Amino acid sequence: MNFFSSSPLFHFLLFLTICISCVNLVYTTPVKIGKGYRLIAIEESPDGGLIGHLKVKKKNNIYGPDIPHLQLYVKHETDNRLRIQITDAEKERWEVPYNLLPREKAPLLKQTIGVSRKNNPFPLGASEYSGNELIFSFTTDPFGFSVKRKSNGETLFNSSSDDSDPYNNLVFKDQYLEISTKLPKDASLYGLGENTQPHGIKIYPNDPYTLYTTDQSAINLNMDLYGSHPMYMDLRNLNGEGYAHAVLLLNSNGMDVFYRGNSLTYKVIGGILDFYFFAGPTPLAVVDQYTEFIGRPAPMPYWSLGFHQCRWGYHNLSVIEDVIANYKKAKIPLDVIWNDDDHMDGKKDFTLNPVNYPGPKLRAFLEKIHAEGMHYIVINDPGIGVNKSYGVYQRGIANDVFIKYQGKPFLAQVWPGAVHFPDFLNPKTVEWWGDEIRRFHELAPIDGLWIDMNEVSNFCTGLCTIPEGRICPNGTGPGWICCLDCKNVTSTKWDDPPYKINASGIQAPIGYKTIATSATHYNGVREYDAHSLYGFSETIATHKGLQALEGKRPFILSRATFVGSGHYAAHWTGDNKGTWEDLRYSISTVLNFGIFGVPMVGSDICGFYPAPTEELCNRWIEVGAFYPFSRDHANYYSPRQELYQWKSVAESARNALGMRYKLLPYFYTLNYEAHTTGAPIARPLFFSFPNIPKLYELSTQFLIGSSVMVSPVLEQGKTEVKALFPPGTWYSLFDMTQAVVTKEPHYLTLDAPLHAVNVHLYQNAIIPMQRGGMLTKEARMTPFTIVVAFPLGASEGEAKGKLFLDEDELPEMKLGNGQSTYIDFYAKTSNGTVKIWSEVQESKYAMDKGWSIEKVTVLGLDRIGGAFEILVDGTQVTDTSNVQFTTEEHKYIDKLEEGGDKRKSMMLDIQGLELPVGKNFVMSWKMGISP
């Protein structure tokens, strides 16, 4: 929640300032800073990497004095990952803590660097260090390095600077680090978030990219928002083939990144340069390699893939009960009900309002909905109210868990009024936090935690004291107006660094509306360095606390994120607006977070504020039903917008969420795939079609997994949508007789009346579906349908798919625990025969649950069938009297705008089956005559 910047006048002035600052940032001729560094020694390190010694060439004092001696460390850590680290050669500098993001440690700083060991010298004349996939090469004077792809010689990164370049050679000062890379003009870059990108998923030249976790509404474009992800993916098309790689600068300090179209420059205000290069070469391979390093995405419980309803302003428990009753009455699926801060006593964490949410009544309510299969989640902000009668505060003071300023807990203001912020870098704080979670769970057995305002957000700026003689806040005005007595803190180099990043789009002081950056954490760590890690460190502590409760798989939703946050939590895109533009922007942000290794992501459906129109809410649920994380959430000051509030929206919700709940086994299998390989659940189309440049900036359609494409209406008043179809056959999931076939990428105008969303299944895929239901608990126990999609009319074709099932609240999502089953599905049509079969791993769990396949739907057959045979675990099924066959001819969607190919083809439904999911089956038949 963030409203201190919501007035129209503020936004107009902010917009004006941003426009002016952007012009200044992009078009001002930069002053060259120094002459770079010279490589004076390089040798092989004990771990098989390289260590080099860099010496500054010409000292200057722009942004402070140069660090004269630097250590270069290079290592091919895996076949696909190269690390290049540059730091001070003489003293240790701040790095992202290794206990937060586990990784290999670089060799200790060497006092005698430059004296090569005789037994294994790396000759200075040599300029290449080659791994399996990547090559590191360098020049010595001035020092520059490049990274090349071994297979084709393509230069992926080149830090050298010429006099004509608008950027410098390497600059390394205490509070200003600069390094750049040349880029080809036709590169397509993605990432560098979190921000709201108006141009779509592709990074746009000359837009500002500032990374510094900030509590700003997501309605603010091209501005540093809640997360810091200094990672980008680079996709290049070489001779018709797409090659992807990624670059991570592992650094938690504030930074500006300037992309000029043919170069990219980092300007960082602290820490070290710690680059990781991921070779790809496909987008999926990049995310696999990236999440292998930063941590695989967290496994999500099955119920979390259902629909969620939240609102700031559910004033008492009876309102929550009424919401649930109305969803049931409207026959709209609902799995999870949420509370914003309405359940709290005075907006204090880990408390219940004794009048509106009394403990006994809330526990009785939770017992009832848990028995039905529903779940309940509440918000939790990091600010702990300063109140001597408040047990959480008392225990926090006793355990000395808060961030300090000059030896005393730093004072800020958030929703409860005056607060202190827990220091999650302190091991004692993590223990205390887990204990508070346990205490609250005994009070109210919640099913997850929503951690908000953790950038960290502060309604005040500077060094504050609690005012004497007046109540703060007094309860009469907006809760986000600062009422403490505060004075600015700008006297230190930490609060007023020499280089001003473009914070909040206006180069705001970096302590603006957050913790003073000269405040200190555990072991003397400055907020200046650790700021963007706050939400990440809170997420880890929350995950540990939740998992300790009952040994269940935690569900956490965090607003602030950093590199690795997806290993613990889901994310939503923050305070968006109920506008058509924000609906469109949501797709890009969701897709970006999949690349960042946070696949469980979504936006507030219908917008957080102000009130959406009825038409917009119709269209938003048709998109939001296919977000990985699907939640309607509204502001306290907005009218009610639950999906049943309008009859038309309720109908669209039943249609779109009805399909989502049928696709739950597919979504859950993608959850497993994300957890094991990092693969995003929602993906740009180029993930499946990396060789098609036309898709590289497509941001109005997206894929769920590799094979299901969503093409929503994103404009007011439209009842059709222009969708781009990659080559092949696409079948409508809402009417599988409808097919689109093309040999080349082409646009097609699809009918899209108010209650319809276009969702298509691609050829060569097999997807598992179920009947659906009002709850994931009931939907997941219904019989399965296996949908097999061959290329339309193909006499020769193959398809495959998979299904993962497990006891979904186990902490780990894996095979081998006796409570999971994995199935590969295959299909082939060849020489007049169709064969469909399964290969089951660890069948016991599925067999114990009694799951069965009741129907197989085969799309794209060129002939109808005969001579049908089924084998289960190698034994022929002799009684097939209940099996029914129905066929229907595929229909072509007209209005082809280019290309197209039409031929007769059939959809075959095989019904009345009772195939155990946990047993291998083989189904085959000879094809009859062509239709």
> Could you give the CA distance from residue 422 to residue 385 in angstroms, rounded to a whole number?
11
Residues serving a catalytic function are 452, 455, 575
> Could you give the CA distance from residue 617 to residue 477 in angstroms, rounded to a whole number?
30
The alpha helices in 199-354, defined as continuous H runs, are 283-294, 317-329
Q: CA separation (Å) from 186 to 475, 568, 696, 697, 838?
A: 55, 36, 11, 12, 43
Can you give 727-783 as a three-state secondary structure string? Answer: CEEEEECCCCCEEEEECCCEEEEEECCCCCCEEEEECCEEEEEECCCCCHHHHCCCC
> Residue 663: helix, strand or coil by DSSP?
coil
Q: Are strands 630-634 and 604-605 parallel, antiparallel or unpaired?
A: parallel
CA 77 from chain centre, in angstroms, equals 25
> Could you give the CA distance from residue 905 to residue 913 in angstroms, rounded to a whole number?
24
- The residue type of 882 is N
CB contact at 8 A, 854 and 785: yes
* Dihedral angle over CA of 776, 779, 780, 786, nearest 10: -130
> Residue 188: helix, strand or coil by DSSP?
strand
CA angle, 64 as apex, 62 and 70 as ends, to 5°? 105
* Dihedral angle over CA of 294, 295, 298, 299, nearest 10: 140
> Could you give the CA distance from residue 286 to residue 80 in angstroms, rounded to a whole number?
9
Tokens of 820: 């999971």
Tokens of 567: 């290993």
Task: Give the Cβ contact number of residue 873 at 10 Å.
Answer: 12
Cis ω on the peptide bond leading into residue 142 (within 30° of 0)? yes
CA 454 from chain centre, in angstroms, equals 17
- The per-residue DSSP string of 671-691 comes to HHHHHHH---SEE-GGGT-TT
> Residue 900: helix, strand or coil by DSSP?
coil
Q: CA separation (Å) from 577 to 358, 551, 606, 608?
A: 33, 38, 8, 6
List the 417-420 sheet strands across, edge first. Answer: 384-385, 417-420, 412-414
